Amino acid sequence: MPIEDIQEFISELEKNGELKRVKTQVDSNLEIAEIMRREMYSNGPAILFEDVKDYDMPVLGNAFGSMKRLEIGLEMTDFTEIGQRIADMTKMDVPSGLLNKIKKLPELSKMTASFPKSEVSGPVTETTSTDASFDDLPILKSWPNDAGRFITLGLVATKHPETGVRNLGVYRMQIVDKTHALMHWQKHKRGAHHGDISKDKGEKIPTAIIIGGEPATVFSSIAPVPEGLDKYLFAGITRKEGIKTVKCKTIDLDVPANAEIVLEGYVDPADIRDEGPFGDHTGYYTPVEPYPTFTLTGIMRRKNPIYVTTVVGKPILEDAYIGKVIERSFLPLIQMFHPEVVDFSMPAAGWFQGFAIISIKKRYPGQAKKVMMGLWGMGQLSLTKMFVVVDEDINVHDINDVIWAITTRADAARDTTIINNAPTDTLDPASPLVNLGSKMGIDATQKTKEEGYEREIQQQVKVDEETKNLVDSKWSDYGL
């Protein structure tokens, strides 16, 4: 059975030596964040802070800060399984005839088992109130120059105002007062798109903030799923079992029944205020910028909830590991559209949106550029600053191997592509304008005569099999 909630996840982490409890009183103002950063940078465990000053609610941090913890939470070791399940669904034939339908039942039942299941109540409905306040939650201030306290791992639930397709995204929220916060959904994010549609209609958009979803739902909130795919369904595909949902009390939205806390309200696209600065995952403070306001109208929560949070800053921190799972899980989907792709890597030091390496099985001239252009047209990959394309013999996860390919197979003038006036990540500190800058592609594949390479391709140095086998057979005799 998949993990049902964050409290069960804590138990599993503890069983596997992946969690430490801190009983000393700690402060949500800067102190917790600094403890978490030190543990993250040193590959430390998840931490449950049991005594938080001025609050009766424990705080869980660094819960997803290692591949081991994500393997426990998502109950798998090969994360490409997630993307492969989606790819398999898209290839599924619709059966005709009774016999064919019967034969297809096992496959169809797997798909229907992933759909969310609506419940009348759940753990998150144990306590409900319309007299809600952000002051009741141990929301962190992470960096000294942050504009205040920020919710950093709230799963922001909205639905498309026209199609009704549900979305979950993780957007930071700056607390303004007891019932107002600023919603930092960047221009390219799906939540912002829903907000723009509501703005055009002159309407506010119902929004719920979920704290402490089970691991598959947290992952689904961060994952850049294909447009039109319901995030709750994607969570079910990830865990191979549909999540349970309940209705909010003050707004028309479904939320996970097993969450710790749900903050209900709406975002008013017409109520724009200055948000920031905030110490972000680029390693820089993002400057003050205008964002819409969220108004809190109600709360649902467990009787004894746990506040789940994260901190960001210069890589490598907790978000890097979630990013690696996204990278692995979406490889099969990339290969659906670009079959020549062998592997794909987005190094954590490049904050995942800044730099990507792709290996391909090259068959024709200009294929590396074709892949770059194709990936720049795929969803969130459109915001990636730099692509490096290498041959299939290069290990995209070994940066030394990649550097060797760049320096031995790429000519700066011939193999560098620059695209100006292209969309960039809002958080990119180097772009000359917010949301607009340039991109770079490097073709580090071996060039052919068809691509204008007139020289003889130099032979790589490799050991001969006879010598290799000889040394293999005598290795234990060398005393090395």
90, pLDDT greater than 70: no
Instruction: Write down the pLDDT at residue 416.
Output: 96
| pLDDT(92) > 60 | no
Q: Taking residues 2-27, report their average pLDDT.
A: 96
Residue 459: its pLDDT value, please?
85
Percent of the chain clearing pLDDT 70 (strictly above): 95
382, exposed or middle or buried, with CB in 10 Å at 0-12, 13-18, 19+?
Answer: middle
> Which class is 6-96+110-309 in CATH?
mainly beta
Q: Which of 37-46, 257-266, 326-335 has the lowest mean pLDDT?
A: 326-335
Helices 67-74 & 318-329 angle (0-180, nearest 10): 60
- Report for 68-72, 186-190, 199-203, 348-352: range of highest mean pLDDT: 68-72
Instruction: List the structure tokens of 102.
Output: 């019967």
Q: What is the pLDDT of residue 466?
A: 96
User: Which one is predicted more confidently, 436 or 380?
Assistant: 436
Q: What is the mean pLDDT of residues 247-258?
A: 96
Query: Is 319 noted as a catalytic residue in this protein?
Result: no
Residue 8 has pLDDT above 70, yes or no: yes
Dump the DSSP string for 11-58: HHHHHTT-EEEE-S-B-TBTHHHHHHHHHHHTT--EEEE--BTT-SS-
Residue 35 and residue 47: Cα distance in Å, rounded?
9
The mean pLDDT value for 398-403 works out to: 95
Least confident of 22-36, 237-251, 279-293, 453-467: 453-467
Q: What is the pLDDT of residue 107?
A: 53
Asked whether 147 and 276 are in contact (CB, 8 A), the reply is yes
pLDDT digits (tens, 9 = 90+) for 406-434: 999 999 999 999 999 988 887 788 888 98
What does the pLDDT read at residue 105? Answer: 46
The residue written with tokens 């801190």 in the block is: 22
Domain positions in the chain are: 6-96+110-309, 338-451
pLDDT tens per residue, range 134-156: 999 999 999 999 999 999 999 99
In the chain, what is the greatest distance between 2 CA atoms, to the nearest angstrom? 80
The set of residues, in sequence order, having a beta carbon less than 8 Å from that of 120 and lying 6+ positions away, is: 246
User: Over the stretch 303-318, which tens digit does the pLDDT of each residue have?
Assistant: 999 999 999 999 888 9
Query: Cα–Cα distance between 185 and 170 in angstroms, integer?
Result: 8
Q: What is the pTM of this model?
A: 0.86
Mean pLDDT, all residues of the chain? 91
pLDDT at 99: 56
Q: What is the pLDDT of residues 98-135, one digit of tens each?
A: 555 454 545 544 567 888 999 999 999 999 999 999 99
pLDDT of 83 > 90? The answer is: no
* Active-site position among 280, 343, 425, 428: 280
Band (91; pLDDT cuts 50, 70, 90): low
Give the model's pLDDT for residue 374. Answer: 92
Interval 199-235: pLDDT, tens: 999 999 999 999 999 999 999 998 888 778 889 998 9
Question: Residue range 342-370: average pLDDT?
Answer: 91
Q: What is the mean pLDDT of residues 337-353?
A: 89
* CATH number of 338-451, picked from 3.40.50.40, 3.40.50.2000, 1.10.3720.10, 3.40.1670.10: 3.40.1670.10
